[in-house]
Chains A and B, each alone.
Chain A
Amino acid sequence: MSENGPIIEMCNVNKWYGNYRALRDINFTVNKGDKIVVCGPSGSGKPTMIRTLNWLEAHQEGDIIVDGVRLHDKMKDVDKVRMEVGLVFQHFNLFPHLTVLQNLMVAPMWVRGVPAAEIPEIAMKFLERVRFPEQAKKYPGQLSGGQQQRVAFARTLCMNPKVMLFDEPTSALDPEMVSEVLDTMVGLAEDGMTMDCVIHEMGFAKAVADRVIFMDAGEIIEENDPVSFFENPQNERTLNFLSQILQH
């Protein structure tokens, strides 16, 4: 079992923004190799949950344990977790003043301390993995949204993360670019990456996910394998949500 032991555990996690309760008693485990898709209506706390996992947002109650490290006020522990957890953003957040290749190189160079001579090779390897080696010298501003997001994937992969978190990676893209990004994600999943995705593409959930989690109003309402989740939802709110997004 140690092979597939838990890498992320959330126990009774609560979070407030002022008086607004963003997360309610979240209990949730990700095992190594799991592909999880989190869905739910807007305002349901999905991005908040993803972002508490590497403490871009601090939680106030409960325990979050990532790769054996409990997240709390000590920044040393938080940074340890951040080195093992890759986060992909809705708006890519590439560094506009650096070329694609340099974007990939900063983290191994300054955080991991990989010897400088090896870094370009590593970076190119991951650029090839997202099928993008020919644009290494360009600046992010010269690329399309889909291309930028693939570069962002590669940048995250350069850190050799144990888990990748996806915070709505396709929401800011033009429709024709969604598929290139989804294909890349499917590729990652096939390579065995542990993935926790907030994503609106239900086709991706059906094809890739081991489990689908439905959130509403900061709570996990339902958690199931994709077949049961889509064919036979247990909760009325899940049913409502699914009928709304699958209608068109």
Chain B
Amino acid sequence: MVAILFVLNIVLIGFLNFRFQAIIVWLQLLALFLTFFYGFDLDFSFIRKKVWFMVSQGVFTTLYVSAISIALAPMLAIVGAVAKLSSNGFAYAIASFYTSFFRGLPLLMQVYLIYLGLPQLGYVIDAVPAGILALPLCYGAYMTEIFRAGIQSIPKGQWEASRSMGFKFGLTMRRTILPQSLPLIIPPTGNQFIAMLKDSSLVSVIGVWELMFLARTLGNKTFQHMEMLITAAMIYWCLSMCLELIQSRIERHFRTKSH
């Protein structure tokens, strides 16, 4: 019976155009997925009771930490990329040390190092600022490489044309190089933003009351871990989808702009 329904379903969907195929298959997979969770025999009244606190406290903190990190990381990345492409030895050395170090350590360890290490030097740092420091430093290092690749992909002739008209370095970068490399930089950067949103969960280990921390702790008392974890998972997924949507909008904007 199930097999017949399954085959019928596939045949029917086959007749639709691409758009409807995509939408229906999406919804069906989602339904399957939710049924799977439903099978866990979750206590929904418990979820309803806690979800508001999770959103108001957890989502708020997650978004707050991620938003600041998302704003800071590209700035670090641009400076890093320019330094890495520079012919100045100091700049290159500092930038490549930075990317090597922060790409080379696990983010979790960086969070610990900043939170526990800075007090050793005499700077006592709160959990939230420590998390906000760790995330952009780490992701800025990854994004430095993305920006560097984007800048390098612009043909040398564009530099020459700009410089030969008397453009200084900064002007060439702003008016010629970055506008052309943005369409190449945006897809991988969107990836990084989504990853950053989820990796903000790592700051839960130092006691920041963000989504992951609440997911682990709220269910502790009554052993209702699964309820809280699944709720948090769904919330993360929704937030990521928002970022995906924004990314695809921006990409479309650039596609229509160039022809």
Contact = CB atoms under 8 A, between A and B. Distances in A.
A91 B164 contact: no
Contacts of B259: 139, 141-142
B175 A110 contact: yes
Contact of B176 (A87, A91, A95, A159): A95
| B-side interface size class | 10 to 19
A82 interface: yes
Contacts of B164: 54, 56, 82, 85-87
B161 A82 contact: no
Nearest to A107: B165
Nearest to A79: B166
B242 interface: no
B165 A159 contact: yes
A58 interface: no
Contact of B180 (A75, A97, A156, A159): A97
A128 B188 CA distance: 42
B160 A56 contact: yes
Contacts of A120: none
B258 A111 contact: no
Interface in A14-45: none
B161 A79 contact: no
Contact of B258 (A82, A97, A110): A97
Interface string A122-147: 00000000000000000101100000
Given A110-B171, A110-B175, A96 B166 contact: no
Nearest to B156: A93
A186 interface: no
B92 interface: no
Closest 6 CB pairs of A and B: A93-B161, A93-B157, A83-B166, A82-B166, A87-B164, A107-B165
Interface of A: 54, 56, 75, 79, 82-83, 85-87, 89, 91, 93-97, 106-107, 110-111, 139, 141-142, 155-156, 159
Given A83-B166, A93-B155, A94-B161, 12 more contacts: A56-B163, A82-B166, A86-B164, A93-B157, A93-B160, A95-B180, A97-B180, A106-B175, A107-B167, A110-B175, A139-B259, A156-B165
